[in-house]
């Protein structure tokens, strides 16, 4: 992989890594026994290892100029490996956290394994580790193919990838040590947040430079979604994380937003992280890999444009539906509710567009588990956006809020939609990237599919049940007009569902492990001789390649 | 004209970027911009007091252990919420909360008004092993809190950071942060009186975990739990049936 | 900045609405502008191309 870097790029990497080593040492020295010091050591070790690797081949000859006539795929391959590592880690921690709710002694009474600390490790591991790496890797793939241009340079993709994973590592190890802002999905402390800003700006610049080099005059719609993801996440991340550290040698900081403002900013962030991280980016995958795999153009390109602007516009308003019946002003709650319901239109437009693309190719959906992953993803996208709009209605929310229904809703989204579309995209991407005819084992893809589907269904049915039961128990009155159930009564009623949920999650985890094995074996297998083949040949007219100029 | 504009917009990827920002920012501006001035509409309550250094340290332990993942601190304006947990939460009550800990999930009960409802002893026993007190509980045990000595050296830095954000800690409070934290958990020492002088007569000075020889993280967390919902009595005033805040004397 | 709360809320509630409508109209015009159809059709089919090399 280093072989492709030019001498200039290698030198630049060395300079950056030396700077990072120095930062690591400085953090370790300033922080001492504060967790900041531990993170200094983490930074030092990570950059040190990369530096050693790079120095050993610093003076190798310049790479062959022929590389410029191909797409730059090495960082994508590394990104896929990171994706699967985080998937298995994040989902394992998730199953563990779920098990702790059913059997609390499973934390072994130690601090770093207690529920409150591993829960953010689960959410960050899955959302940012698994989801984020998948988005970065696929965005590098899609932007090159749809622009018919190679990535703008060879240094920035590596910087983005390694930098981003360093952020994830620092964040997750931090939570286990108790370093957290207690802001949901933005728990990482100030220094990790600052680092992510640098990485993200590099990502944005790389993306826009690559788009600027495009040979296709029109920017394909998948790139719009990736762009919105990159841009808006930057906006959200910066605003929500403005904080003042108590000193430069401490990990602890205080947010500048107090009380009710913090609540609004936090859920403006929180819900838009769902919108632009877990929706926009993955819709980009849908709009590229689904047509590609089905070998059919998207049903309506215009509809995809309309739903793009709809989603970009509407989502920003809906965060306040997380704060119904709270101390937030009433009109803000109503605004959030109204836009949440309106949001259903562009959401269903996207889901419908995906399903109509498959209309007429149902035999492919039946036979091909990869396509079935994406088909189920579109269904779950439709379902969970409907559920989301429904739960945002104030009276419904009064029942569902604070209960497991919310957890079930989120997992319908992340297991059913995000993870399924990612696996579908990866099973499409991996053989083409490593120049294999197909995945190592289509049986294993099939097994993964059924495990993932069964796991998701068990999980969300368990949470629907527990959430609704709990919500109803909290508001049940006796004939004497007193509350019927104590809080602990409602908790006791949850245990069977917590066990079922753990089992569902376990099935999903096993599926992800099988998927990782399958991807690993595909990458290690022998390449096909027809090296130029991107996909299995199918009948039907194929528009001939017409290079510009 | 419009078509020309759009063609240009599309040709330059950067124009596209601005369009996304324009579309995406408006919701945030409309909803959030007015909240910057929301303090004009939040009623000022004269009896609102600050977190003492010990309570702030306890709050930071609550943050560190991720308690927000299972406990909310926000009583909604719903009958069953109010009857179960007490008068609904007011915006002013989280005025000094950075971050706010309203939470999003009640795997355990709401804690917005837990202060004063249970004894210190109950909290210590419960945090050390929840199942000794509530056999059906699935809350993690936190036995290490009673063993970890509280880091009171840095508390002035914490108060200073809050001061710079506009929380009205006086310089005297910052100077005495460590001493006050020690004093609040050590009623029989000379440091105890300074706490009530600076933070008000209603500040609870107690041994919390029952051990006087050292100030532990358990002391801090229990001190914080006991002040929840008791920074002001505003929520108890003007309710349909006058309610009384929990008795401060336990 | 001495904007008071009521002014800000008023601006939000009025201009926010105009902004929303204007933007939606703009997007609709763009999407259904006749001469854009060709370009959209090309983009729609273009990704199915089997060629896997950058154009030079």
Quickly count: other Cβ atoms within 10 Å of residue C32's Cβ: 12
Averaged over A74-78, what is the pLDDT? 96
Task: Specify whether the CB–CB gap between A167 and A36 falls below 8 A.
Answer: no
Q: Quote the distance between the C-alpha of residue B100 and its chain's center.
A: 6
Lookup result for tokens 């020690």: B182
Please tell me whether residues B61 and B155 are part of one structural domain: yes
For residue A543, is pLDDT > 70? no
**Are A182 and B63 inside 8 Å of each other by CB?**
yes
pLDDT tens-digit readout, B70-126: 999 999 999 999 999 999 999 889 999 999 999 999 999 999 999 999 999 999 999
Interface of A with B in 188-227 (CB under 8 A): 208, 211-212, 217-219, 224, 227
More confident residue, A335 or A528: A335
- What is residue A128's DSSP assignment? I
Give domain status of residue B249, yes or no. no
Closest by CA to A131, choosing from A220, A211, A233, A207, is A233
Give domain status of residue B247, yes or no. no
Please tell me whether residues B119 and B185 are part of one structural domain: yes
Q: Which helix (H) or strand (E) holds A497?
A: helix A495-524
Task: Specify whether the CB–CB gap between B159 and B53 falls below 8 A.
Answer: yes
pLDDT tens-digit readout, A82-104: 999 999 999 999 999 999 999 99
**CA atoms of B101 and B63, how far apart (whole Å):** 8
pTM: 0.92
Averaged over A151-176, what is the pLDDT? 96
Please tell me whether residues B7 and B105 are part of one structural domain: no
Averaged over A227-238, what is the pLDDT? 94
Residue B30 to chain C, least CA–CA distance (Å): 5
**CA atoms of A269 and B72, how far apart (whole Å):** 19
Long-range CB pairs of A388-395 (<8 Å, 24+ gap) are A388/A340, A388/A343, A388/A413, A389/A340, A389/A341, A389/A343, A389/A344, A389/A347, A391/A321, A392/A318, A392/A321, A392/A336, A392/A337, A392/A340, A392/A341, A393/A337, A393/A340, A393/A341, A394/A324, A394/A325, A394/A333, A394/A334, A394/A337
Q: Within 13 Å and on the Cβ side, how many CA atoms surround A312?
A: 29
For B72, which residue in chain A has the nearest alpha carbon? A402
**CA atoms of A16 and A18, how far apart (whole Å):** 5
- The reply to whether B93 touches chain A by the CB within 8 Å rule is yes
Averaged over A10-26, what is the pLDDT? 96
The rounded mean pLDDT for chain A is 92
Interface of A with C in 149-208 (CB under 8 A): 149-150
**CA atoms of A7 and A13, how far apart (whole Å):** 10
Residues of A in contact with C54 (CB under 8 A): 69-71, 144, 148-150, 215
Task: Specify whether the CB–CB gap between B92 and B124 falls below 8 A.
Answer: no
For residue A202, is pLDDT > 80? yes
Residue B143 to chain A, least CA–CA distance (Å): 7
Please tell me whether residues B213 and B145 are part of one structural domain: yes
For residue B8, is pLDDT > 80? no
Please tell me whether residues B80 and B109 are part of one structural domain: yes
Lookup result for tokens 């309550």: B45
Closest by CA to A367, choosing from A454, A449, A437, is A449
pLDDT for res A549: 38
Coil, helix or strand at residue B63: helix
- What is residue A244's DSSP assignment? E
Give domain status of residue B45, yes or no. no
**CA atoms of A204 and A402, how far apart (whole Å):** 36
Q: At what angle do helices A74-102 and A420-433 cross, to 10 degrees?
A: 150
Q: Quote the distance between the C-alpha of residue C33 and its chain's center.
A: 13
pLDDT for res A521: 95
pLDDT for res A331: 80
**Are C54 and A532 inside 8 Å of each other by CB?**
no
Out of C3, C5, C36, whose CB is closest to B41? C5
* Domain region containing B25: 2-39
pLDDT for res A542: 43
Subunits with at least 3 CB pairs below 8 A relative to chain C?
A: A, B
Map out the domains of chain C as residue ranges: 5-45
The pLDDT-based confidence of A531 (bands split at 50, 70, 90) is very low
Alpha helices in A213-280 (DSSP H): 221-240, 259-272
**CA atoms of B170 and B3, how far apart (whole Å):** 61
**Are A487 and B42 inside 8 Å of each other by CB?**
no
Burial tier of B182 (Cβ tally within 10 Å: 0-12, 13-18, 19+): buried
Please tell me whether residues B193 and B92 are part of one structural domain: yes
Residue C31 to chain B, least CA–CA distance (Å): 10
The number of domains in chain B is: 2
Task: Specify whether the CB–CB gap between B66 and B92 falls below 8 A.
Answer: no
- The reply to whether C56 touches chain B by the CB within 8 Å rule is no
Measured torsion, CA atoms of residues B53, B55, B56, B62, in degrees rounded to the nearest 10: 150
For residue B41, is pLDDT > 80? no
Q: Of A18-22, A394-398, B22-26, where does mean pLDDT reach its minimum?
A: B22-26
For residue A518, is pLDDT > 50? yes
pLDDT tens-digit readout, C3-55: 677 777 777 777 777 877 888 888 888 888 888 888 888 888 888 888 888 88
Please tell me whether residues B131 and B24 are part of one structural domain: no
pLDDT for res A470: 96
Give domain status of residue B248, yes or no. no
**Are A292 and C49 inside 8 Å of each other by CB?**
no
- The reply to whether A305 touches chain B by the CB within 8 Å rule is no
Closest by CA to A354, choosing from A231, A221, A238, A242, is A221
Encoded tokens for A76 = 């994508």
pLDDT tens-digit readout, B132-182: 999 999 999 999 999 999 999 999 999 999 999 999 999 999 999 999 999
Subunits with at least 3 CB pairs below 8 A relative to chain A?
A: B, C
Residue C46 pairs in a beta bridge with none
Q: Check which CATH number belongs to the domain holding B140 and give it.
A: 1.10.760.10
Give domain status of residue B231, yes or no. yes
Which are the contacts of A235, defined by CB distance < 8 A and separation ≥ 6?
Answer: B21, B24, B25, B28
pLDDT for res A546: 43
pLDDT for res A537: 44
Q: Which helix (H) or strand (E) holds A243?
A: strand A243-245
The pLDDT-based confidence of A545 (bands split at 50, 70, 90) is very low
Encode A78-92: b = buried (16+ Cβ within 10 Å), e = exposed. bbbebbbbbbbbbbb
Residues of A in contact with B11 (CB under 8 A): 217
**CA atoms of A292 and B29, how far apart (whole Å):** 38
Averaged over A224-234, what is the pLDDT? 94
Which are the contacts of B54, defined by CB distance < 8 A and separation ≥ 6?
Answer: B150, B180, B181, B184, B185, B215, B219, B220, B223, B224
């Amino acid at each position: 992989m280093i072989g492709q870097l030019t001498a200039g790029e290698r030198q630049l990497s060395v300079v950056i890594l030396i700077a990072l080593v120095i930062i690591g040492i400085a953090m370790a020295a300033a922080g001492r026994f504060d967790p900041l010091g531990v993170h200094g050591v983490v930074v030092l070790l990570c950059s040190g290892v990369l530096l050693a690797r790079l120095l050993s081949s610093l003076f190798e000859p310049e790479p062959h100029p022929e590389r410029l006539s191909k797409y730059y795929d090495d960082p994508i391959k590394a990104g896929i490996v990171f994706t699967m590592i985080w998937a298995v880690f994040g989902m394992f921690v998730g199953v563990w956290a779920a098990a702790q709710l059913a059997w609390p002694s499973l934390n072994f009474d130690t601090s770093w394994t207690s529920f409150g600390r591993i829960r953010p490790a689960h959410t960050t591991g899955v959302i940012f580790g698994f989801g984020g790496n998948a988005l970065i890797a696929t965005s590098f793939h899609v932007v090159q193919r749809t622009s018919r241009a190679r990535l703008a340079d060879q240094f920035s993709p590596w910087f983005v990838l390694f930098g981003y994973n360093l952020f994830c590592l620092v964040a997750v190890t931090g939570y286990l040590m108790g370093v957290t802002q207690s802001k949901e999905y933005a728990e990482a402390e100030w220094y990790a947040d600052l680092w992510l800003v640098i990485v993200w700006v590099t990502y944005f610049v790389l993306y826009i430079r690559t788009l600027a080099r495009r040979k296709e005059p029109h920017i394909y719609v998948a790139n719009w979604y990736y762009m919105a993801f990159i841009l808006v996440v930057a906006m959200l991340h910066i605003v929500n994380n403005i904080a003042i550290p108590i000193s430069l040698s401490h990990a602890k900081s205080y947010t500048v937003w107090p009380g009710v403002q913090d609540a609004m900013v936090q859920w403006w962030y929180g819900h838009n992280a769902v919108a632009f991280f877990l929706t926009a980016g993955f819709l980009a995958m849908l709009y590229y890999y689904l047509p590609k795999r089905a070998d059919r153009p998207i049903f309506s390109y215009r509809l995809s444009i309309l739903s793009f602007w709809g989603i970009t516009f509407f989502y920003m308003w809906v965060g306040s539906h997380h704060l119904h019946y709270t101390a937030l002003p009433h009109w803000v709650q109503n605004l959030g509710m109204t836009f949440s319901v309106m949001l259903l239109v562009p959401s269903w437009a996207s889901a419908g567009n995906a399903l109509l693309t498959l209309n007429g190719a149902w035999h492919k959906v039946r036979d091909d588990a990869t396509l079935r992953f994406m088909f189920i993803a579109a269904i779950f996208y439709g379902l969970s956006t409907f559920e989301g709009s429904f739960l945002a209605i104030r009276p419904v929310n009064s029942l569902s809020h604070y209960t497991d229904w919310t957890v079930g809703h989120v997992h319908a989204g992340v297991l059913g939609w995000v993870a399924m579309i990612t696996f579908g995209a990866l099973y499409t991407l991996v053989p083409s990237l490593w120049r294999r005819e197909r995945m190592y084992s289509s049986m294993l893809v099939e097994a993964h599919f059924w495990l993932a589907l069964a796991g998701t269904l068990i999980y969300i049915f368990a949470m629907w049940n527990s959430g609704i039961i709990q919500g109803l128990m909290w508001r049940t009155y006796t004939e004497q007009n007193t509350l019927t159930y104590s809080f602990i009564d409602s908790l006791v009623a949850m245990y069977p569902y917590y066990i079922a949920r753990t089992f569902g999650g376990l099935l999903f985890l096993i599926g992800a492990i099988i998927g990782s094995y399958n991807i690993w074996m595909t990458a290690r297998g022998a390449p096909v001789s027809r090296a130029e083949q991107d996909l299995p040949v199918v009948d039907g007219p194929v528009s001939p390649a017409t290079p510009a100029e | 004209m419009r078509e020309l504009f759009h063609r240009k917009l599309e040709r330059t990827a950067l124009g596209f970027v601005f369009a996304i920002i324009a579309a995406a920012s408006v919701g945030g501006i409309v909803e959030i911009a007015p909240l910057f001035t929301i303090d004009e509409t939040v009623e000022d309550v004269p009896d609102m007091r600050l977190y003492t250094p010990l309570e702030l340290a306890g709050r930071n332990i609550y943050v560190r252990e991720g308690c927000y993942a299972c406990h909310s601190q926000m009583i909604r304006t719903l009958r069953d919420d109010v009857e179960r947990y007490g008068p609904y939460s007011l915006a002013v009550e989280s005025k000094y909360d950075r971050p706010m800990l309203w939470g999003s999930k009640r795997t355990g009960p709401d804690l917005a008004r837990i202060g004063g409802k249970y004894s210190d002893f109950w909290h210590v026993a419960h945090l050390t092993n929840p199942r000794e007190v509530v056999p059906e509980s699935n809350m993690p045990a936190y036995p290490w809190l009673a063993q970890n000595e509280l880091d009171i050296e840095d508390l002035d830095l914490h108060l200073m950071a809050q001061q710079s954000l506009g929380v009205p800690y006086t310089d005297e409070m910052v100077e005495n942060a460590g001493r006050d934290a020690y004093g609040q958990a050590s009623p029989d020492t000379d440091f105890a009186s300074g706490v009530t002088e600076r933070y008000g007569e209603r500040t609870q000075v107690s041994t919390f975990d029952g051990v006087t020889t050292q100030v532990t993280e358990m002391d801090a967390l229990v001190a914080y739990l006991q002040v929840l919902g008791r920074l002001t009595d505003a929520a108890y005033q003007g309710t349909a049936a006058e309610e009384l805040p929990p008795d401060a004397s336990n | 900045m001495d904007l008071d709360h009521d002014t800000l809320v008023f601006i939000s509630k009025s201009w926010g609405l105009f902004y929303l409508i204007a933007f939606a109209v703009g997007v609709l015009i763009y999407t259904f502008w006749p001469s854009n159809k060709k370009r959209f059709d090309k983009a729609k089919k273009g990704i199915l191309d089997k060629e896997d090399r950058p154009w030079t």
